[in-house]
Structure 1
Amino acid sequence: VLIVFETASHNGSVAPAKRAHPAPAADLTSAPPVSSEPEKAATAKRRVLAAPAVRKLAFELGVDLEQVQPSNANGRVSIEDVRAYAEEARDTSPAPSSTAASEQQPAAISQPQQRSVLPAPGSEDKREPLTGLRKRIAEHMEYAWRTIPHATAFDEVDGSGLVALRRALLPVAEKRGVRLTYMPLLLKLLLPVLKEFPIFNASLDEERREIVYKQAYHIGVATAAPEGLLVPVLRDADRLTLLGIASELERLVDGARKRSLTRSELTGSTFTLNNVGSFGGASGTPIINHPEVAILAVGKLQEKAVVHEGQLVARPMMPLALSFDHRLIDGARAGAFLARFKELVENPQQLLLDML
């Protein structure tokens, strides 16, 4: 922009102002050229081989699959690889420095001093770390609930026939030194139902997306221990007699409470039976013991008023709750499973047909 100043000369005329010359333009040719394309990565990202279930778990744990080294020879990342990487990252992550944190905090604004209110003696919250068995139980329950789409079917069974059968067999069991509870009877009645509905004795291979039908019948029995709930496993239950089941169950339950069982006695179950009544509960909604696909909870036997053959009578009733994996089992099949189990419990003499 040119600015002209006019000043009066001695003779009163206006003298033309000197014209300002613009500053020379900056030399733009010396600036380095700007690249029009972004720089390419130094190394190309490798293609990660992983099943959808593995990718889902990695996303929930915040794990970058490209950083996980596969343990399989085929290069596929497994669920165990993701968990191991997440556990290692959690153990090796450095704790934040208190000095660095204090340096990053802005200076506090001066405020009028307030009187601090001290908590009443004994009212402070108590904290304790989640460790040991309780931590493993929590992680297992959390993974099962997050991974399996649970659904639960409920029913109620008349336990009159079961009570009569135990009363008749109790003297024989006592002579042989065996403690006969309702649990061995229920387990023995459960086995033919599992064979009739094999999907309930199966598991889902989440990486290969295949249903695995188990040929063995290893029944887990939920047991209350001082540090939490344990599930000892009754292996090859279908090959044992009723008194054999009762004797082995007593040994496993006692070992679970004393924490004397081995790892092989606490893993590998194909189906779990949970006697909520033994904990003093009337009923409950069980969580599936992953990688199983179903769990049956039986409640406490209690006398209730029911209508039987047109008459209001008192009967020992027992609630049932069957939780199942809705990816493999639908409601109709769960209902049929409960109906068959209910039929055997109410008429346990039907087991004799398999022995004749």
Structure 2
Amino acid sequence: MGVHVIKMPDLGEGIAEVEVVAWHVKPGDVVVEDQVLADVMTDKATVEIPSAVAGTVIELGGQLGQALAVGAALILIEVEGEGNQSAVKQNSRTMAAAAAPVVAPVAVAAAAVVEAAPVAAPVAPAPVAKSAPAKSLVTQASRAAGEKPLAAPAVRQRAWDLGIELQFVFGSGPAGRITHADLDDYVARGAGGAGGAGGAGDNRYATLDGETAVPVIGMRRKIAQKMQDAKRRIPHFTYVEEIDVTELEALRTQLNTRYGKERGRLTILPLLMRAVVLSVRSFPQMNARFDDEANINTLYSAVHIGIAAQTDAGLIVPVVRNAEARDPWSSAAEVARLAEAARVGKALREELSGSTITITSLGALGGIVTTPIINHPEVAIVGVNRMVERPMVRDGAIVIRKMMNLSSSFDHRVVDGMHAAQFVQMIRGYLECPATLFVE
């Protein structure tokens, strides 16, 4: 019998490390060739890692939420014959390091969260050997109420990158000073820990005095990092305008009655997409991506519209490419296709990245006003609020009209308030006189 080590493969596009989001096997399991062993997440998508050999699982290379470098040992499998013994010898230290707590955050997504594929529900991780009793997952620091935690600037910066509140980290250094080792211990307790709300053997959660601490891993970590990065780097301003969509709804109803069976039914979304396409012709600076490191704002002639969508795994942004070349029915069909692919976790990497402007909507839950977060590195996002019937004054008479607010956010570094207002007013003009949507 020999041992075969399966390394973390190179997934391309300069990816240096990935996050383990699900294990499908545990030590002692018998696996066959091509059986899926684990799911890992890159900065944009979830990838299944299959087995190259048949055998028995000996050891896993990490815990859920842990970042592993490309080339690191992912899993050890006992096989018939000699296996790849040289690889095992070369990677013995790598496997030991992989079992240790992660000390570096996963790379932030470069395009959108929130350009990432949804993640399948993670299975319970393999049991790990219990160590000596340690501090609970959320350890009350040994400091008086209101006292600031002591930590070096490098430790504070690392805690910020990891999203850790130092107030809740136990300091083992002189005078309770928090060290890098304390952060490592805190992260380790967050990724594992005995017991928890998830049931026996479930290391994803831990409880203390009726409180549940839920480690933020996988898609939720990507979303958190993306949102934090966008709000920290982009000076947002939001412009809200109400729109009379009575005529738009009347036209939509007529189109669905006449063409619904053969061409598909339309919602407001594809009509709004058409209005955005027409409006960016006059305001090309809205259909752009701003590189704030190189100080270059790139304007695009093609309009790739991101559609913020909620899935069971979290928020993602499928991209309708070349929306300027589509009619409303083509846009509606593409939105439906992408939404279904995202829902079942089959969306491709290129379908989740490269948007130049984004539309977001909460549908019937859209509220009156929202403050959408820009999909970095874009410079504009158009938010749709719910449609309601309200009394309005028209020609001196009170009439009932269907009204809807648009809440749109812009990057104030490259978009002036006046231009943002003019852009939204142009969208409003198209929607309130919907026949113009079909006039070139």
TM over 0.5: yes
Unaligned runs of 5+ in 2: 1-42, 44-66, 70-100, 105-132, 136-170, 177-206
More helix by share: 1
Q: 1:353 and 2:439 equivalent? A: yes
What is the CA-CA distance between 1:103 and the residue it aligns to? 10
Counterpart pick for 1:130 among 216, 222, 239: 216
Q: Which amino acid aligns with 2:242?
A: E
What is the correspondence of 1:275-286 to structure 2 with a 5 Å cutoff?
275-286=361-372
Q: Secondary structure at the match of 1:299?
A: strand
Q: Which amino acid aligns with 1:242?
A: P
Counterpart pick for 2:313 among 227, 240, 245: 227
Distance 1:278 1:249, change over 3 A: farther
1:304 matched residue in structure 2: 390
What is the correspondence of 1:1-356 to structure 2 with a 5 Å cutoff?
91-92=102-103, 124-176=210-262, 178-354=264-440
Aligned residues: 254
What is the CA-CA distance between 1:227 and the residue it aligns to? 2.1
Residues 283 and 300 in structure 1, CA contact (< 8 A), matched pair in contact too: no
The CA RMSD measured in Å over matched residues stands at 3.2
Question: For the residues of structure 1 that align with 2:419 and 2:309, how far apart are their CA atoms?
Answer: 28
CA-to-aligned-CA distance 1:306-349 (integer Å, 9 cap, x gap): 11111111110001111000000111111101111111100011
TM-score w.r.t. structure 1 length?
Answer: 0.65
Question: For the residues of structure 1 that align with 2:374 and 2:427, how far apart are their CA atoms?
Answer: 19
Residues 276 and 284 in structure 1, CA contact (< 8 A), matched pair in contact too: no
Q: Secondary structure at the match of 1:133?
A: helix
TM-score w.r.t. structure 2 length?
Answer: 0.53
More strand by share: 2
* Greater Rg by CA: 1
What is the CA-CA distance between 1:87 and the residue it aligns to? 10
What is the CA-CA distance between 1:209 and the residue it aligns to? 1.2
Residues 240 and 408 in structure 2, CA contact (< 8 A), matched pair in contact too: yes
What is the CA-CA distance between 1:211 and the residue it aligns to? 1.6
Residues 255 and 261 in structure 1, CA contact (< 8 A), matched pair in contact too: yes
Distance 1:87 1:305, change over 3 A: farther
What is the CA-CA distance between 1:190 and the residue it aligns to? 1.4
Q: Which amino acid aligns with 1:166?
A: R
1:71 matched residue in structure 2: none
Q: Which amino acid aligns with 2:420?
A: A
Q: Which amino acid aligns with 2:294?
A: R
What is the CA-CA distance between 1:233 and the residue it aligns to? 0.4
What is the CA-CA distance between 1:174 and the residue it aligns to? 2.2
